[in-house]
Amino acid sequence: RVACESFVTTGLALVGGEITTQKHYVDVQKIVRDVIKDIGYTEAGVGFDADS
């Protein structure tokens, strides 16, 4: 079950809520960084860097 919200602004991504699973660990930080990277925010010059 997932009930979460995301709040994103220049240089900050915040995920709050609840993720419930019986068998798996969910690495929320990795998922958020991967999505930010996938949509093209890969350097501070564009306002957001997935690796910082």
At 1-52, the pLDDT tens digits run 889 999 998 889 999 999 898 888 889 999 999 999 999 888 888 888 888 8
- Residue/partner pairs of 5-13 with CB below 8 Å, 24 or more apart: 6/32, 10/47, 10/48, 11/47, 11/48
Domain boundaries, given as residue ranges, for the chain:
2-49
For β-strands 42-43 and 12-19, DSSP reports them as unpaired
* Identity of the residue numbered 26: V
pTM for this prediction: 0.78
Which pLDDT does position 38 carry in this prediction? Answer: 95
Which pLDDT does position 47 carry in this prediction? Answer: 80
Which pLDDT does position 32 carry in this prediction? Answer: 92
Residue 48 forms beta bridges with which residues? 43
Which pLDDT does position 48 carry in this prediction? Answer: 84
